[in-house]
Structure 1
Amino acid sequence: MTGTDTEADVEHVVIGGVDSHADTIHVAVVTDRGGQLADAEFPTTTAGYTAAIAFMAAHGAVVSVGVEGTSSYGSGFTRAAREAGLTVIEVNRPDKAERRRIGKSDPIDAYAAARAVVSGRATSAPKGDAVAGIRALHNAARSAIKARTAALNQIGHILICAPDGIRAKYEVLRGDMRVAALVRLRIGSDPIHAPVLTALRTLARRVQSLTSEHMALTSELDVLVTRLNPGLRAAYGIGPDTATQLLITAGDNPARLRTEASFAALCGVAPVPASSGKTNRHRLSRGGDRAANAALHRIALVRMRRDQRTRDYVARQTDAGRTKKEILRLLKRAIAREVFRLLTTTVEVPEIADLRPARQAKNITLTAAANHFGVWPAVISNIERGLRRDDAFASTYREWLPAA
């Protein structure tokens, strides 16, 4: 091969960029130095994706493709490109300052996506299909909770304006007791009370249905999350909902997460300097994925209440003069560090399936075991069923059972 042939081969290396929409995708092709070559529009169909990939390949060897919206409108093209053996890079939308400077159109955005890959500004791989399924179930579960809350609020509003007899009877009840009582309502034929009672019973039945739906979806999510990352799900204070949200934020491919600091910034828990004069402090970040931030916040609250190590840490920080907000900031940052490790490395989870059969074989009740260890029976039950992780206690419990 001559030097001229080598230079020709280098010149034919190209990078693609895709601006995705509901019905169309706009594809642009640039050189490895960012020079414009061509662009075209294709439909969001299997045939359209094939034609778009062929269009890019016609201009040279495609090194990688920057796609805007890999988890939304661009998900179909992302799958097709991966199946074709192309390297797909997730690209964020151009910032507002750049859009004001160069304008906004589909070709401009497609070229910007390609140049983001050329410049190295975009480097993250798209999220995998496993997380896409988890996200769909999570959205369904969240919508069920929102609808349930709306129905409960409607019940409360109706009772405020209901006739005195109805209001006095049901306003004193709370939560599930009120819902259960309203489900058993007998309407009667009173023209004033009947419409109100019908509305209350309908809403109460809706609440029960949505509660069952949410429980079923959460159970399915728990199975999927545990299968995908057992170490994350087994960590203390991380339930099905918070584990699901953290996986949705991070994705199921560890290559997306370059450093622990970048993951903390992604979750909005990277400390932000807030010093002035003699004051030297940091504050919580207001950026990042707020849903992931909320998940870390819930984990921190659970550990502050129930985890002895965390409670000891809070006591030490309080004695040092830190406020609750500052302690929460430190805790969330520490939890983000732990979650990053769980997301990027394989963590072995101790087996607990033998605990319940061993206890039952000895005819030991949950109450008897709980009394021996000085804990509630629910603690033993949760550990046996894998709903709570406490490796030290589980090991002690396993050693005690044969001698009990």
Structure 2
Amino acid sequence: MTSAVAEDTTEKDVFGGVDSHADTLHVAVISDNGGHLADAEFSTTAAGYAAALAFLNAHGDVITIGVEGTASYGAGFTRAARSHGHRVIEVNPPDRAERRRIGKSDPIDAYAAARAALSGRAHAAPKDDTVAGIRALHNAARSAIKARTAALNQIGHILITAPETIRGKYGQLKGTDRTDTLARLRPAGDAVHTAVLTALKSLARRVKELTAEHQALTKILDDEVTAHNPGLRSAYGVGPDTAAQLLVTAGGNPERMRTEASFAALCGAAPVPASSGRTHRHRLSRGGDRQANAALYRITLVRMSSDSRTREYVARHTAAGRTKKEIIRLLKRAIAREIFRCLTTTVTVPAIADLRPLRQSKNITLTAAARHFGL
């Protein structure tokens, strides 16, 4: 007796995991029940990405790919995978306890990323590329400020130990007066004086160049941020640098953050439960994106100093016995809620370019207009 067994041509579901590096990426494939199928290493080039995707597709129907570092080393592979219709999720590196237990290697990390995608432990969508230009400009402007600060600190340190004639003449100057004066120096005197004055002149010119560079970058950044999200840029207390940081934190696809609470947690502005037994309390979050947290803090300070509604809020809670730190925490949480709305919904900003000629034609001073609106 013979029997015919039909061949099962159904393509099985698989999950992928990627451990990314600067020059290579390690790809692992697991089945839908967590079994290890295969792993391999590929280069971080267009050909390497194509080979990695072909490797994944050869093992079945790829449901999800977990990638470690979608915004850094894994950005290229993430773009390639999404362009081919694959679902990609962001995977955090394994915690220290797990690494101590199972060790660390590229295959181990790749399989861990695949298991995170399978289990649902990792579910965050990666950021898209629409804010890549804003991120680049923001990083360049920030590095200019850091280099400028370093040069200013060097000027101060040199003046502390400089010969008395130099320290007495230039040590009392402050701010731009000192920088402008030092940049116009004509070093002369003995060898020591000439060397010190030359160093001061070089540093002062560096400060002026970096200041001009930062101003130019900030102007371009402001235009980019305003074009990308005019509602966010027009919010009270949100400047170009602050808006850029919040856009970089949220990404060009903020819908990946499902609620405003998740955005507040991402910014480290959500209170964290710290209860135990009969003690019921919350503490400040020390996690999240600390640069985004600093951006919310800057907005809070601006509003506390010049926004009438915020000042009334602060006075009301101060009278209720809250400390300044507690009030700032509450304000940052409320501002995070407002920023989330600006990031996820289209806010129409009225055109105001024609208001100045209209005000001047009616002989209304700027002071009178501000007094009318209580500003």
Q: Could you state the TM-score of these two structures normalised by the residue count of structure 1?
A: 0.86
Partner residue, 2:155: 155
Partner residue, 2:320: 320
Q: What CA deviation, in whole Å up to 9, does each residue of 1:227-274 have, x standing for no partner?
A: 111111110001111111111111110222111111111111111245
Q: Secondary structure at the match of 2:317?
A: helix
After TM superposition, the structure 1 = structure 2 runs for residues 61-76 of structure 1, keeping only pairs within 5 Å, are: 61-76=61-76
Query: How far apart in 1 are the matches of 2:192 and 2:158?
Result: 13
Q: What CA deviation, in whole Å up to 9, does each residue of 1:301-322 have, x standing for no partner?
A: 1110011100000000000000
Is residue 283–residue 326 contact of structure 1 (8 Å, CA) maintained in 2?
no
Query: How far apart in 1 are the matches of 2:115 and 2:133?
Result: 31
Gap regions ≥5 residues in structure 1: 376-391, 398-404
Partner residue, 2:182: 182
Displacement of 1:330 after TM fit?
A: 0.5
Instruction: State the one-letter code of the partner of 2:324.
Output: K
Displacement of 1:276 after TM fit?
A: 7.8
Displacement of 1:148 after TM fit?
A: 0.5
Query: How far apart in 1 are the matches of 2:17 and 2:178?
Result: 56
Q: Secondary structure at the match of 2:365?
A: helix
Query: How far apart in 1 are the matches of 2:245 and 2:233?
Result: 11
Is residue 24–residue 41 contact of structure 1 (8 Å, CA) maintained in 2?
yes
Q: Secondary structure at the match of 1:71?
A: coil
Is residue 68–residue 74 contact of structure 1 (8 Å, CA) maintained in 2?
yes
Is residue 283–residue 329 contact of structure 1 (8 Å, CA) maintained in 2?
no
Q: Secondary structure at the match of 2:246?
A: helix
Identity %: 71
Within the alignment, does 1:355 sit opposite 2:351 as a pair? no
Query: How far apart in 2 are the matches of 1:346 and 1:299?
Result: 21
Query: How far apart in 2 are the matches of 1:242 and 1:310?
Result: 19
After TM superposition, the structure 1 = structure 2 runs for residues 31-50 of structure 1, keeping only pairs within 5 Å, are: 31-50=31-50
Partner residue, 2:250: 250
Partner residue, 1:136: 136
Q: What CA deviation, in whole Å up to 9, does each residue of 1:286-335 have, x standing for no partner?
A: 11111111111111111100111000000000000000110011011111
Query: How far apart in 2 are the matches of 1:159 and 1:72?
Result: 41
Partner residue, 1:282: 282
Instruction: State the one-letter code of the partner of 1:236.
Output: Y
Aligned length: 371
Within the alignment, does 1:342 sit opposite 2:342 as a pair? yes
Is residue 64–residue 118 contact of structure 2 (8 Å, CA) maintained in 1?
no
Partner residue, 2:365: 369
Is residue 18–residue 66 contact of structure 2 (8 Å, CA) maintained in 1?
yes
Within the alignment, does 1:18 sit opposite 2:14 as a pair? no
- Shift in alpha-carbon separation, 1:293–1:374, aligned structure 2, 3 A: closer
Partner residue, 1:332: 332
Q: Secondary structure at the match of 1:17?
A: strand
Root mean square deviation, CA, Å:
2.4
Partner residue, 2:126: 126
Partner residue, 1:236: 236
Q: Secondary structure at the match of 1:186?
A: coil
Is residue 125–residue 255 contact of structure 1 (8 Å, CA) maintained in 2?
no
Q: Could you state the TM-score of these two structures normalised by the residue count of structure 2?
A: 0.93
Partner residue, 1:29: 29
Query: How far apart in 2 are the matches of 1:277 and 1:19?
Result: 41
Q: What CA deviation, in whole Å up to 9, does each residue of 1:120-175 have, x standing for no partner?
A: 11111111112222222211111111110111011111111222222122222111
> Which of 68-77 and 273-282 deviates more?
273-282
Gap regions ≥5 residues in structure 2: none
Partner residue, 1:91: 91
Displacement of 1:373 after TM fit?
A: 3.1
After TM superposition, the structure 1 = structure 2 runs for residues 293-308 of structure 1, keeping only pairs within 5 Å, are: 293-308=293-308
After TM superposition, the structure 1 = structure 2 runs for residues 202-241 of structure 1, keeping only pairs within 5 Å, are: 202-241=202-241
